[in-house]
Amino acid sequence: MKVYIGNLPFSVDSEKLKELFASYGDIEEATVISDKFSGRSKGFGFVTFSNDEGAKKAIKEMNEKEIEGRKLKVNEAKPMEDRPPRRTGGRNFGNRRF
């Protein structure tokens, strides 16, 4: 089961995230999401547990827990929904030539 962890302190990296949740069960993967340009944490991540029991216990015990002054948001990860394409901000003049 994959768990979403939001409102992470920016000092937490993937290794620290794994350490925070290791006591709840075997972890297959722990990833903090970072900005692709700056490399800075976006303040959220995901932990994938080997079994559902560990994941459910982590959700119950870690949701709203304060880490470095920030209350974590911990819940079951949901699949990312399709979003409309981003606008590039440029003007669309069609086939007109200037």
Give tens-digit pLDDT for 7-34: 999 999 999 999 999 999 999 999 999 9
Q: Concatenated DSSP letters for the chain?
A: -EEEEES--TT--HHHHHHHHGGGS-EEEEEEEE-TTT--EEEEEEEEESSHHHHHHHHHHHTT-EETTEE-EEEE--PPPP-PPPP-S----TT---
Give tens-digit pLDDT for 54-70: 999 999 999 999 999 99
- Check residue 80 and give its pLDDT: 77
Task: Answer yes or no: pTM beyond 0.75.
Answer: yes
**Domain 2-76, architecture per CATH:** 2-Layer Sandwich (3.30)
